[in-house]
Amino acid sequence: MPDDQANATVREGSPDSAVDRVADFYGAYIDAVDDGTDDLSAGLRAHYLTEDLRRRLAAWEEANHADGVLRAQDVPTHWAVRYHDSGAGHLFTTVTLTWGTGPDAGHTRLAVQSDLSTKLISDIEDSQ
């Protein structure tokens, strides 16, 4: 095993964690979009997002001519998901997307809401 793989960060997760499910969704979704597998990205949306959010994303995409999950026309080079808050049956995470590499890389942040009862993502908005 190459040295860089031996010292690599271990990635873990749990199907019981709404934060892990957001991270799982964004990781798989970005891979699918980057690979150009439209049927997979649509399937991931159907599995991880509420029906209401899928309808709202379709309207947003029609108006903005961009991917509503990523809030962009391009594919990010990196993503990170962090717990933000929870309450009233919802969990809130911050998804940070990195665009490009090196010192000129840009970042956008998304506020992602999940319903705790279903662990489905129920809202995605631009964040500060």
pLDDT of 32: 96
Higher pLDDT, 114 or 13: 114
User: Cβ(127)–Cβ(120) under 8 Å?
Assistant: no
Q: Which fold has domain 17-126?
A: Nuclear Transport Factor 2; Chain: A, (3.10.450)
What's the pTM value of the predicted model, to 2 decimals? Answer: 0.90
pLDDT of 2: 55
Q: Cβ neighbours of residue 68 under 8 Å, at least 6 residues apart?
A: 56, 57, 58, 60, 61, 124
Q: Where are the beta strands (DSSP E) in the chain?
A: 78-87, 90-99, 106-115, 121-126
CA 69, CA 49: separation in Å to the nearest integer? 10
CA 120, CA 101: separation in Å to the nearest integer? 31
Domain coordinates of the chain in residue numbers?
17-126
Q: Cβ neighbours of residue 50 under 8 Å, at least 6 residues apart?
A: 115, 118, 120, 121, 122
pLDDT of 37: 84
pLDDT per residue as tens digits for the range 2-19: 555 666 778 788 989 999
pLDDT per residue as tens digits for the range 15-62: 899 999 999 999 999 999 999 987 999 999 999 999 999 999 999 999
